[in-house]
């Protein structure tokens, strides 16, 4: 079967009925989500005891559990509860990764109704799960339980398709889902093969079903299968275990399912152990998110925060509009736009529970251009294609509305990230770095005098538009597109919520902003970041007119009112630079080695000696070492959506560097790989 991403982003609702005891039943499968007598006892017996938990994670810094069939989340909630209650058996900062796949997710109200039956000791985590519950959008969604040290990656897709797009090395698997007779697609050899592929050496598996077909599939995959007493009315259930292997790959005589397609130039980095020193260069949202994510994964992180020429901190925007750019379709741009927005919302809403000042205002409208009726049809089609709940997306016949989008205070967010990173052991150095070089296996961050500020085996460039300037000589420097821009603090906005189309305008933001609104943003290109900044710096009045003209395209009366309100006075403004790429996707991943790319690709073309080929069943994987600069990575070129993209991309990079479950599929990570531009350039030669 094809492992490319489906074009339809929606995943279906299961279609529920509820019995007299409040237990949900999926009518399409003719089965209930759990046994009404003692669902908690059943799951503890079948899955936790069947996988030897919590004993199996004693002493572990990291432990990964996979699950087929998320359902109401009961098994995951019990798993989190057990992990929290046994924290004294593990090193401080230990992490639990959970990967669960669900093809027919409940909606928010159904989940809340099902959770009424849960015991009180699961109520807090259940509420946290519901608060972060995603819409039915196909793909992986990250749900975090930071206090417990748990990350859940919920893949919304059919089991076979969803698992085939993910990468993990699970220490345990809960084989759940409806009974094989009710839901045979959950128990096929293909699904079992994908589960097998996603197992670590010595992985343990447990299932409530003792069906012969399931036993045989696991045995053929190389597991030792044991039938044990079932729970309640069920006579038997299964437990299984793979051999320990040699510590590098599961030792199984069976052939696992094909892995996600990774191009030869996009192989997963070697997982770094906890405590590995890493440096992050940058002082914006990308750098802060990278430092925080790596610290959460147990890395020893030092962030280098650049200084201005007079030694001060780099100024940041007065406010940030967080609003999605949703598009129809199934390509990487469409998926990243939706998934990153949803991810940022979940994270920022969680932070706001601790920092109420994070959100300055909520609600953003995406207006149709005045007189352009075709936009109304596009908006309606988008709402229909996504089928998100009204709490996320609505359409009034003219404009799109994003009720949970809004305006955030970057100072509050930066302070929270810095404080949390420091609490996790991260450090910050105030210094200006002019370049990086590699010496004795370490990346050194050098200042203008060539002195090393600090060094580490792993370095992440997250310095915004200046990231590529810090690289050793590389052809990818030339792909960046820079634009200087300006934001204005203006009086006179009469909006109840922000508008965002070509330009944006917020509602008045309160006393700390003098009841002014943020108007933006101009865009003036430049060959370099400094050129772009210089192009904008002397054009205050022209940029103001540009921004007002854009607002006038959809809100002409509001634009006129603002122009009248400052009556020739010069409104306060902020200037900055953004950078993007020709395909409008960011760069996130390993920094390519130009010479190695050219040498390796030419070798592939002529079947050169020394090129090692590994041939899995689909014959697609070709692995060549040293494609990238060892230990050098970047998260950059985020364009105007840095605060939307940075949390997800930082989490992705941290997972890649530490061997965790990534919040993005291999296919989408390849679309962000910095080496893609070298590949395209060489293809044209």
Q: Tell me how far apart the terminal alpha carbons of the chain are, to the nearest angstrom.
A: 34
Q: Which residue has the tokens 């809004």?
A: 406
- Tens digits of residue pLDDT in 637-667: 999 999 999 999 999 999 999 999 999 999 9
Sign of the CA dihedral with 371 first, then 377, 383, and 386 last: negative
Which of the residue ranges 311-315, 355-359, 638-642 would you say has the lowest mean pLDDT? 311-315
What strand order describes the sheet that includes 16-18?
Answer: 16-18, 24-26, 31-32
pLDDT bucket at 311, cuts 50 / 70 / 90:
low
**Does 266 or 606 have the greater pLDDT score?**
266
pTM equals: 0.93
Q: Which CATH class is domain 320-409+480-579?
A: alpha beta
Positions of CATH 3.30.9.10 in the chain: 320-409+480-579
Q: How far apart are CA 121 and CA 105, in angstroms?
A: 24
pLDDT, tens digit, 9 for 90 and up, residues 115-143? 999 999 999 999 999 999 999 999 999 99
Residue 64 near residue 655 (C-beta atoms within 8 A): no
Using pLDDT thresholds of 50, 70 and 90, give the confidence band for residue 376.
Answer: low
Task: Cis check for the bond before 73: say yes or no (omega within 30 of 0).
Answer: no
Structure token pair of residue 445: 């961050």
What CATH fold (topology level) applies to the domain 277-314+413-473+582-600+626-684? FAD/NAD(P)-binding domain (3.50.50)
- Residue of higher predicted confidence among 346 and 510: 346
Count CB atoms within 10 A of the CB of residue 83: 24
Q: What would be the CATH architecture of the domain defined by 16-241?
A: 3-Layer(aba) Sandwich (3.40)
* Phi, psi (rounded to 5 degrees) for 265: -90, 5
> Start-end ranges of CATH 3.40.50.150 in the chain?
16-241
Q: What percent of the chain shows pLDDT beyond 70?
A: 90
Going by the DSSP 8-state scheme, the letter that residue 368 receives in this structure is P
> Looking at the chain, which residues constitute the CATH 3.50.50.60 domain(s)?
277-314+413-473+582-600+626-684
Is pLDDT at 578 greater than 90 in this prediction? yes
* β partners of residue 301: 278
């Amino acid at each position: 079967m094809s492992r490319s991403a489906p074009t339809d982003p929606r995943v279906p609702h299961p279609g529920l009925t509820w019995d007299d005891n409040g237990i949900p039943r999926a009518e399409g499968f003719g089965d209930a989500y759990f046994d009404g007598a003692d669902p908690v006892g059943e799951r503890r017996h079948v899955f936790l005891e069947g996988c030897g938990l919590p004993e199996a994670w004693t002493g572990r810094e990291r432990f990964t559990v996979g699950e087929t069939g998320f359902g109401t989340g009961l098994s995951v909630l019990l798993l989190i509860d057990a992990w929290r209650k046994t924290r004294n058996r593990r090193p401080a900062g230990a992490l639990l990764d959970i990967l669960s796949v669900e093809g027919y997710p409940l909606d928010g109200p159904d989940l809340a109704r099902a959770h009424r039956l849960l015991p009180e000791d699961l109520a807090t985590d259940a509420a946290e799960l519901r608060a972060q519950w995603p819409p039915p959008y196909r793909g992986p969604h990250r749900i975090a339980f930071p206090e417990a040290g748990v990350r859940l990656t919920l893949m919304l897709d059919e089991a076979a398709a969803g698992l085939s797009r993910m990468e993990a090395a699970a220490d345990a698997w809960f084989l759940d889902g409806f009974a094989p007779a009710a839901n045979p697609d959950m128990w096929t050899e293909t699904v079992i093969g994908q589960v097998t592929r996603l197992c670590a050496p010595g992985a343990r598996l447990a299932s409530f079903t003792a069906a012969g077909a399931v036993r045989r599939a696991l045995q053929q995959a190389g597991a030792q299968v044991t039938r044990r007493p079932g729970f309640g009315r069920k006579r038997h259930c299964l437990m299984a275990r793979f051999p320990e292997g040699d510590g590098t790959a599961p030792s199984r005589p069976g052939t696992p399912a094909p892995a996600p397609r990774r191009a030869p130039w996009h192989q997963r980095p070697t997982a770094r152990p906890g405590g590995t020193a890493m440096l992050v260069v940058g002082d914006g949202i990308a750098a802060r998110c990278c430092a925080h994510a790596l610290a959460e994964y147990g890395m020893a992180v030092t962030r280098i925060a650049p200084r201005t020429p007079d030694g001060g901190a780099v100024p940041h925007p007065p406010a940030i509009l967080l609003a999605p750019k949703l598009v129809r379709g199934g390509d990487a741009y469409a998926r990243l736009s939706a998934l990153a927005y949803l991810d940022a919302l979940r994270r920022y809403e969680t932070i706001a529970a601790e920092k109420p000042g994070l959100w300055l205002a909520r609600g953003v409208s995406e207006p149709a251009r005045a007189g352009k009726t075709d936009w109304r049809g596009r908006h309606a089609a988008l709402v229909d294609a996504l089928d998100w709940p009204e709490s996320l997306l609505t359409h009034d016949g003219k404009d799109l509305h994003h009720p949970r989008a809004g305006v955030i205070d970057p100072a509050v967010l930066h302070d929270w990230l810095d404080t949390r990173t420091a609490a996790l052991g991260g450090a910050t150095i105030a210094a200006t770095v002019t370049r990086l070089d590699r010496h004795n296996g370490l990346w050194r961050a050098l200042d203008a005098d060539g002195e090393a500020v600090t060094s580490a085996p792993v370095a992440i460039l997250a310095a915004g538009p200046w990231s590529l300037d810090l690289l050793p000589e590389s052809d990818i420097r030339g792909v960046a597109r820079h634009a200087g821009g300006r934001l204005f603090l203006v009086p006179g906005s009469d909006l109840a919520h922000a508008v965002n189309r070509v330009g944006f305008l917020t509602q008045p933001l309160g006393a700390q902003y003098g009841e002014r609104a943020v108007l933006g943003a101009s865009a003036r290109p430049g060959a370099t970041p400094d050129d772009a900044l210089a192009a904008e710096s002397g054009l205050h009045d022209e940029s103001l007119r540009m921004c007002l003209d854009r607002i006038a395209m959809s809100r002409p009366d509001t634009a006129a009112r603002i122009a009248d309100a400052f009556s020739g006075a010069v409104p306060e403004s902020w200037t900055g630079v953004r950078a993007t790429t020709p395909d409008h996707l960011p760069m996130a991943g390993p920094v390519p080695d130009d010479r190695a790319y050219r040498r390796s690709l030419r070798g592939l073309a002529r079947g050169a000696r020394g090129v090692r080929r590994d041939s899995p069943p689909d014959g697609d994987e070709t692995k060549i070492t040293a494609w990238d600069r060892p230990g050098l990575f970047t998260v950059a070129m985020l364009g105007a959506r840095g605060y939307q993209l940075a949390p997800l991309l930082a989490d992705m990079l941290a997972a890649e560097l530490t061997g965790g479950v990534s919040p993005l599929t291999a296919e989408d990570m390849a679309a962000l790989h910095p080496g893609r531009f070298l590949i395209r350039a060489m293809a044209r030669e």
